[in-house]
Structure 1
Amino acid sequence: MTSPGPDDLYVDQAYDMVVVSNRLPVDYREGDDGSTQWKSSPGGLVTALEPVMRAADGAWIGWAGVADREFDPFEHDGISIIPVPLSSAEIEEYYEGFSNDTLWPLYHDVIAPPSFHREWWDAYVRVNRRFAEAAARAAAEGGVVWVQDYQLQLVPRMLRETRPDLVIGFFNHIPFPAYGIYSQLPWRRQVVEGLLGADVIGFQRAADAGNFSRAVRRLFGYTTRGTVIDVPDDEGGVRRVVARHFPISIDAAGFEEIARRPDVQERARRIREDLGNPRTIFLGVDRLDYTKGIRHRLKAFGELLRDDRLQVEDATLVQVASPSRERVETYRQLRDEIELTVGRLNGDHSTLGHQAIAYLHHGYPREEMVALYLAADVMLVTALRDGMNLVAKEYVACRFDGDGVLLLSEFTGASDELRQAVLVNPHDIEGLKDAMIEAVEMPKKERARRMRALRKRVRDNDVANWSATFLKALTGSGQVAAGIPDQLQGAIAALAETDRLLVALDFDGTLAPLVDRPEDARATERALAAIHRLAAIDDTRVAIVSGRALDSLGEVAEPPAGTMLSGSHGVELKLDTGPIQLDLRDAELTTLDRLTSIVETVAGSAEGAWIERKPAGIALHTRRLSAADGLALQQQARREVNTELLGITVRAGKSVLEFAVRSSDKGESLQRLRQHVGASGVLYVGDDVTDEDAFAVLEGTDVGVKVGQGKSLAAHRVRSPEEVSELLERLAEAREHTSGGASGWS
C-alpha cells in the first residue's frame, strides 16, 4: 500500500461533531463469504460520546486496525465512521515506534528508556497530517473536533492552520511528564505547538495540566494564568487556550447493571469454587505493560507466602494480563519475565489442591470481568504511573454488595478521587505487603464504609459527566453579550422588507424562561405583546414551533388568534385553517404503550425525573437532577428502549430525552409551515439542540437566531428570552414601516 494523498479520504457530508482517535470504535471482521463486517468495540469513550454524537450528527475518524487496507466511510449504529488507512511501515514507525516506544515511556516517567529515531518522528508527522486532513474535510463550518490521546498530538495545530473556523478540543488519556523528563524529547517544541492548536486541552490530573503549562512557559515564554494560556495569533492578538484536568471515568450504571444479573453472580460463585474457595482472592487486571507494577505485586505476594504471613490454602492471586504490543521487544521481554516469576512462585508455593497464582494472558468479555470483580476480595492496582486506571473504578462500580477492598497506587490518576481506597507506594515492597495484610484483615464494617464512599464518588463522576464537563468547557465557555448585535440588527432590517414573512419561534427557553415545572412556563409579557403586533401586520404570519404536545403548547403559549402551532417536533400541526388530525396506526399505538411503560419505569427510579406524554411519544425530563445523574438516566432509558423496541425516534434536548413512534423534526415542520403560507422570508429563533434541525433548512436571506450559549448552525445569537422580546419588537417596528398596509397573502 502506498501512503494515501489528501484526496484519497473522500467524505461526502459535513458533520457538526467529529471525534478523532487512533482507533475507530469498531473492529473489522471478515465474514465466511469474504464480506466486510464491523463489530462494536465498546469502551468508556464510546459510551460517553455516543449520545452526544447522535444528537450532533457526529462522525468518528480513526484507523480500522487493519494495515494496508482502505475502507470507504460507512455508518454503524447511527454514527458515521470515516476510516483512515495506515501502511504496515507506518504502523511500525508511527504507532509501535514513536507513539509506544518514544512517547509512552517518556510520558510514564521513563520507567523504561524511550527510543528517539528521526524516521519514527517523520512517520508521526505524516500520519498526524493525514488524520488532520480527514477531520478538516469532515467537519462542518464552525463544527467541533475532539482529538483523543498522545498518538495525535500534532493534529490540533495542523487542523487550526487549515480550518480556523473550527472549535478544537484535545484530551490526553495518559500522564504528561514534568519538564525535566519531557525536555529529553528532541521534538519537544513541535509537540507543544501541536497541542496549543486546541481551544481546550484536557488532562487526567491537575499535576499533568501543571506540567504542560510549565513546559509552555519554559519553551515559549507564553503567559499562563491558572488554567489559561495566552497564545499569540498571526494577527498580533492573543488566543486563549484552556489547559486543565478533566478526570475520565466509566459507565458506572452499566457496570452495576451487569453485576446485578443473576447469571453473572452465579459465575462469580463458580469462580470462587473453581479456585478452591479460598478465604481471600486477590485480583489484578492489567494490560501487560511495564507501567502497571505487575512485577511489584507478584514480588510482594510471593514474600507474604514465603514468610507465612499468608497461606496458599487461604489466599490466591488471580492475575489477568491481556496481551499488549507484542511486536515491541520491551513488551516481549516483560512477558517472559512475568511468566518466569509466576512459574517460580507456583512451583515454590502451590499444592495439589491450591494454586498460588492463576495467571491468565488473554482478554475477557465484560461479563466475565464483572464476575471476577464480584469474586475478588481485594483489588490490586499497583501501577507505577498511570493517567487514570479505570479498572479501579470498574471494581468499585460492580461492588453493589458494599464489600471488597480496593488497594490503589498513589501514582494513578484514580488516587486523586478514590481517597477511601488503601493507598500504597508500589515501589515500597514492605509497605505494599503490609497494605495487602491490612486489606485481608479489614473488618466488614470498615470495608462497607470505605466502599460506600468510593461508590458515591464513582457514581457522581461517571463518564457521562466527564464528556459533558469537557464539552461544556469547549463549546460553552464564551459569554453571549447582552442586547441585539449590530449584525443581527442589519439582518432583521433586511428581512423586514420581504414580501411574505413567516416568524417561527421556539417556546421554552426562547419566548419563556426555562422553569422546573413545564406547566408553569409562560412567555414574557414583552414577547407576547410583540407577537400580537407581528400577527396584526399584513403579509406576516407567526408560528410557535415546540417539542411540547400541542395541547400543552396551546395552554401555556396563550397565542393570539391566527397564530399557527407546531407541537411534538412537527408531529402535530395547527394551521390558520385548523388542526391537522394525528391518527396513529394500531401497531404504532401498541408500540407507544410499551414505550411509555419502559420510560415510566426508568423515570420512577430517580427522584426528580418526570415524564411528559405526547400523542406520538414520551419525553423523559431530567432538569431537576444533576448533569451527571441526568445523563446517566437518559443513557439508561436509551439502552432499555433500544434493547426492546425497533424504529423508535430518539431526540435529545436540554435536560430532556424524547422518544417517538412517528418521526418528525422542527426542520420538517418549518418547511411545511413555509410552504403552507408561501413565505418569501423566515425568521426562526430557538435555544435547543432540537432547533438545529430548523436552522439547517433556512435558506437565502432567512435569519436564524440561537438563544444562549453552545454551538449552533444559526448565524446569529442573543443571550436570553429578554433579548428575544427586544428582537421581536424591533422586527415589528421595521415591518410596520415597510408593510404597504394591504395583505400580500393570497
Structure 2
Amino acid sequence: MPTTEPQSGSGHELVVVANRLPVDARTLPDGATEWVTSPGGLVTAMESVMRTVDSGAWVGWAGSPGEAPEPFEADGMHLYPVALEQEDVEKYYEGFSNATLWPLYHDVIVDPVFHRTWWDSYVSTNRRFAQAAAPVTSRRGVVWVHDYQLQLVPEMIRAARPDVRIGFFNHIPFPPVELFSQLPKRNQILRGLLGSDVVGFQRESDSLNFLASVRKLLGYHVEGHVITVPGIGSAPAREVVAKTFPISIDSAAVSALTEDQDVIERTAQLRRDLGNPKKIVLGVDRLDYTKGIRHRLKAWQELLNDGSVDPHETVMIQVATPSRERVEAYRQLRDEVELTVGRINGDFAPIGRPAVSYQHRSFDRRDMTALFMAADVVLVTALRDGMNLVAKEYVASRPDLRGVLVLSEFAGAADELRAAVLVNPHDIDELKAATLRALAMPEEDQEEAMRSLRRQVMDNDVQAWAHSFLDELEQSGKPQDDAPAVIRLSGDDPTDPAELDEALAQFARIPRILVASDFDGVIAPIVADRDAVQPDQAALGALRDLSELPGTSVALVSGRALGDLDHHTRMPSTVVLVGSHGAEVGALPPWMHAEVLDNTALAMTPEKEQLLASVTRTLRRIAAENPGSEVETKPAAAVLHTRNARGRGSINATEAALAYARTLPDVVVTPGKEVVEFSVIHTSKGVAMDALARASAADAWLYVGDDVTDESVFAQLGDSDLAIKVGGGETAASLRIDDPQAASALFARLLELRREQG
C-alpha cells in the first residue's frame, strides 16, 4: 500500500476503525436518510469517548452492501464509510470473521470452518479499511483499531503511515496457543496485530495466550508484556505492548436513567404486564451460541419441572437480540431456543402468564434500563465471553442496591465482578443451585454484594478504560527510563499517627480489600544470616486473623524463594504467599481467581534454565572474588547477597554484578539493599501485586514494604489504596512508619478497625 500522509494541518488526531459505523441508516417517509445510534457493546462503550476528543473520526461499514455513502457527520462525529459488496459480507464477515475466527476464539463451542476464498476476502477487506483510515489521520495522530474482523489492519496502516501510533483492542477472547495454532494463516494474523504499538485484551489470560502464540509461532522475544518485533532489513526492532484493559460502560449515564420518571413508570408497568410476580428473572443476550441461552433454559425447565420454582410467583424474561441470522449455526440456534421456550410455556405457564417471556428483538436503552430495574435476578451465563457488558449495565441500573447478578466464570466480567454469584454454566446442577440462591438471597446480602459490584462498575467506567488504553499508547515506544520516578515522600519522619489512623479507618470501611506486605524489613527485622530471621509473631497473627474476615484478602510478597518464605511464616492457605518477587505463587484460597495468579507464576524453558545456570556461575565467581558475598539460587533467578562481604567487598561485588548485568539483555536485574537479583523471567512485586488485586477483585489494597523492590508496588498507588514505607528515604509510598514494630502495630490496628465493620 503506498505511503499516504495528510497535508499539514489536516486529518484527525484520533481515528477509530471498527467493522461497523456507530450509526444505522433509517429511511424516513419522505425518502430521506436519518442516521441513528446503533445498539451494541462497542458503540455504547466508544460514543462517549469520541465526544471528548477535539478532532475524532470513525471508519467503518455503514451496514448495507453496495456503494458507501460519502463521509458525513452524525452525533458530533466525523464518519468515513467503507464499502462492502455482498460477496464481502458473505466471505469476509459471515465467513472468515464469524464462521472461522469467532468459534475458534470462543474455545470451539462449535466447529470453525475455513475456506481459502474467505481468507482472500478477509485480506482485501482489511486493506480497504486501512486505506480509508490512513489518509484521514493527522500527522503523529492515533489510530485505534477494534476487534477480530480487522486484525490485519494495524500492519497495513503502519506500512502506509509509520508516523502514527496504532492501537488494537480485541473485544472477544484470544484462544490458547494450542487452539490458535489450528488456524490457517495464523502467522499472518499475528504479524497483522503486531503492526500495533499496543495490543489490548479483556482478560489477563487473553494477553498471556497472545504472548505465548507470538513466542511459540513467530519466535519473537517476549519479556513480560513487551514483544520485540524484529525490523525488516536494516530497520530497527520495535517494541509492542500486549496488556489487559477490561472494557466497561458509561456507568453514570446508565445510572442516571434510573431517575427518569418515564423509565420508573415503564418498570412498574412491566411488572403489571407480567401479573405482578414476586420475582422476575432476566436474561439479555445476542442470540449467539456462546451466550449459554440453551443451558439457561434447560436449567429453568428443570427448576419448574421439579417444583423448585413456582411459575405462578416467578417469571423469566429472555431477551434474545437478533444476530447473524444468515449464518447457519445462528439459524439453528434460534429454532432450538424458540422450540424450547414453546415447550416450557406449554408445560408450565399459568393461564394469562408465561413461564418464559421470550423477546426476539432489540430494546432501546430506556426500555433495557426498565427491564434491569424490574429484574430481581439477572442471569449472565455465557459459555465464553470477552467481557459481557450486560452484567455491568445491570449493576449500573441498580442504585437501590437490590437485585442479584448470576455471572458465568467464563465471562470476562467475572474477573472484576467477584461479588456476583459466580457459576459454571456447563454444570446444569450448579446453574440451578445458583439461580435458587439468587432468588432466595436476603436483602442485606443483596445490598452488600451490589455495593461492591457498583463500586467496581461506577469507578471503572468506559472513560477510565479508554484513557487507560490511550495513555498506554501515548507512552508506547518511549524508553522506560524517560519516565520520572514517582516520589511522594522524602526524609525519615513517620506519618503523623492521627493521619495514619484516619487513613486506616477509611480503608477498613471499603467492602473488598487486599492487605499485603513484604517480609524482610517489615514482618521480620533484617539480619545478616537470612536463615536466622525471626518474624514478629504478633504481626503474622494479625495477618492470619485478617485473612479470615469477609471481604479481606491477605498476601505476603517477598523476594525470598517460596519454600523459604513458607518455612519462616507457616501461614495458612487463607494467606497467599508470593515468592521470588512474583515468580512463585503458593496455594490460593478458594475465593480467589486462580487463573490470574497461576499465569503469573514460574514459566521456565530449557533455554532459560541454561541462561540461569550461566548467570549463577558468573555470580559465584564474583562472590568468590569478594569474600563474605554469597549466591542464593531460586527457581527462576540467582541472587548475589553482599551484606556479609568484608571491607569494600560489598561495593566491589555490587559494581561487578551490575557491570555484568549490562551484558544480559534477556535478564531482569533488580538491585536491592546489599543484594542484586538476576531473574530470567520477568517478575516484580508490582506485577505480582497487580495480579493479586485482580485475582481477589479488591476494591482497594494496602501494601507495606521497606525496600527498593517494593517501589514497583508503591508506584501503582490508586486513590483508595494505601502504600506504606517502613523506614526512611525517598519513596513513592504515601505513608511512612518507623520499623517492623510499628508495622506489627499497624496490622493489629487494621484488624481492630476491620472487625468493627462487622
- In the alignment, is the contact (CA less than 8 A) between 1:17 and 1:53 conserved in 2? no
Judge conservation of contact 2:241–2:476 (CA < 8 Å) in 1. no
What letter matches 1:159 in structure 2? I
Q: For residue 136 of structure 1, report the CA deviation from its aligned partner.
A: 1.2
Output the amino acid matched with 2:229. V
1:103 aligns with 2:101: yes
Give the structure 2 partner of residue 366 of structure 1. 365
1:296, distance to aligned residue in structure 2 (A)? 0.5
Note the alpha carbon deviations across 1:7-27, whole angstroms, 9 max, x for none: 9x9999422211100000111
User: Residue 192 of structure 1 corresponds to which residue in structure 2?
Assistant: 190
Is 1:397 aligned with 2:396?
yes
1:317 aligns with 316
1:62 aligns with 2:50: no
Amino acid at match of 1:259: T
Residue aligning to 2:466: 467
Worse overlay, 130-139 or 42-51: 42-51
Alpha-carbon distance in 2 for matches of 1:124, 1:68: 17
1:265 and 2:232 matched: no
Q: Corresponding residue for 1:203?
A: 201
Q: Answer yes or no: is the 8 Å Cα contact 2:2–2:160 preserved in 1.
A: no
Say if 2:20 is the partner of 1:15. Answer: no
1:31 aligns with 2:28: yes
Once the two structures are superposed, the pairs formed by residues 423-438 of structure 1 within 5 Å of their partners are: 423-438=422-437
Cα distance in 2 between the residues matched to 1:133 and 1:268? 47
Q: 1:116 to 1:11 in 2, by over 3 A?
A: farther
* Aligned-partner Cα distance in 1 for 2:52–2:439: 46
1:54–1:79 CA contact under 8 A, matched in 2: no
Which whole-Å CA distance do the structure 2 matches of 1:167 and 1:103 have between them? 26
Alignment of 1:128-527 (within 5 A): 128-234=126-232, 235-477=234-476
Q: In terms of mean alpha carbon deviation, does 34-43 or 349-358 score higher? A: 34-43
* CA distance in structure 2 between the partners assigned to 1:273 and 1:479 by the alignment: 60
Q: Single out whichever of 221-230 and 118-127 deviates more from structure 2.
A: 221-230
- 1-side partners of 2:171 and 2:111: how far apart? 20
Distance 2:376 2:325 in 1: 31
* TM-score after normalising by structure 2: 0.61
1:82 to 76, 80, 83: 80
How far apart, CA to CA, are the structure 1 residues paired with 2:336 and 2:101?
A: 23
Change in CA separation of 1:69 and 1:434 when aligned onto 2, cut-off 3 Å: same
Q: Is the Cα contact below 8 Å between 2:197 and 2:476 reproduced in 1?
A: no
Q: How does 1:631-650 map to 2 (within 5 A)?
A: none
Shift of 1:262: 1.8
The 3 A distance-change label for structure 1 pair 481 and 450 is closer
The answer on whether the counterparts of 2:58 and 2:77 sit within 8 Å (CA) in structure 1 is yes
Change (3 A) 1:11 1:230: same
Taking the aligned partners of 1:33 and 1:418, their CA distance within structure 2 comes to 48
Give the CA deviation at 1:192. 0.5
Name 2:539's counterpart in structure 1.
Answer: none
Secondary structure of 1:55's match? coil
Structure 1 distance, partners of 2:475, 2:41, is 23
Letter in 1 for 2:444: K
Alpha-carbon distance, 1:6 to partner: 12
Decide whether the 8 Å contact of 2:56 with 2:78 is kept in 1.
yes
Change (3 A) 1:49 1:283: closer
Work out the CA distance in 2 between the residues paired with 1:333 and 1:105.
15
1:381–1:409: 8 Å Cα contact kept in structure 2? yes
- Look up the match of 1:40: 37
Residue 42 of structure 1, CA deviation: 6.1
Task: Measure the CA separation in 1 of the matches of 2:81 and 2:292.
Answer: 35
Deviation track 1:313-358 (CA, whole Å, cap 9, x = no partner) reads 1211100001001111110000000011111111111121432100
CA distance in 2, matches of 1:311, 1:220: 57
Give the residue type in structure 1 aligned to 2:151: Q
The amino acid of 2:335's aligned partner reads D
State the Cα distance separating 1:38 from its structure 2 match: 1.8
**Contact between 1:282 and 1:378, CA under 8 Å: does it hold in 2?**
yes
**Is the alpha carbon distance of 1:231 and 1:6 closer, same or farther for their aligned partners in structure 2, counting shifts above 3 Å?**
closer
CA spacing shift, 1:98–1:157, aligned 2, 3 Å: same
Cα distance change of structure 1 residues 239 and 129 upon mapping to structure 2, 3 Å threshold: same
The 8 Å contact of residues 14 and 139 in structure 1, kept in 2 or not, is answered as yes
Distance 1:268 1:36, change over 3 A: closer
Q: Counterpart of 1:65 in structure 2: which amino acid?
A: G
Shift of 1:37: 2.7
Note if contact 1:147-1:156 (Cα within 8 Å) is conserved in structure 2.
Answer: yes
Change in CA separation of 1:480 and 1:115 when aligned onto 2, cut-off 3 Å: closer
- Residue identity opposite 1:341 in structure 2: T
**Segments of 4+ in structure 1 off by > 6 A?**
4-7, 9-12, 480-483
- Give me the whole-angstrom Cα distance separating, in 2, the residues matched to 1:477 and 1:248: 20
Query: Contact 1:146/1:168 (CA < 8 Å) preserved in 2?
Result: yes
Alignment root-mean-square deviation, CA:
2.3
How far did 1:45 drift?
4.1
In 2, are the aligned partners of 1:346 and 1:357 still within 8 Å (CA)? yes
Whole-angstrom distance in 1 between the partners of 2:8 and 2:309: 61
User: What CA deviation, in whole Å up to 9, does each residue of 1:242-299 have, x standing for no partner?
Assistant: 0011000001100111111122112111111111222211100000000000001101
The Cα of 1:134 is off from its aligned counterpart by: 1.0
Q: 2:147, 2:225 → 1: CA distance?
A: 19
Equivalent positions of 1:607-626 (< 5 A) are: none
**Structure 1 residue 310: Cα displacement:** 1.0
Amino acid at match of 1:335: R
Give me the whole-angstrom Cα distance separating, in 2, the residues matched to 1:363 and 1:5.
42
Q: Within 5 A, what are the aligned runs for 1:542-621?
A: none
1-structure distance, mates of 2:46, 2:122: 28
Return the alpha-carbon distance in structure 2 between the equivalents of residues 144 and 372 of structure 1.
Answer: 38
2:118 aligned partner, one-letter code: W
Give the Cα–Cα distance (whole angstroms) in 2 for the partners of residues 416 and 239 of structure 1: 31
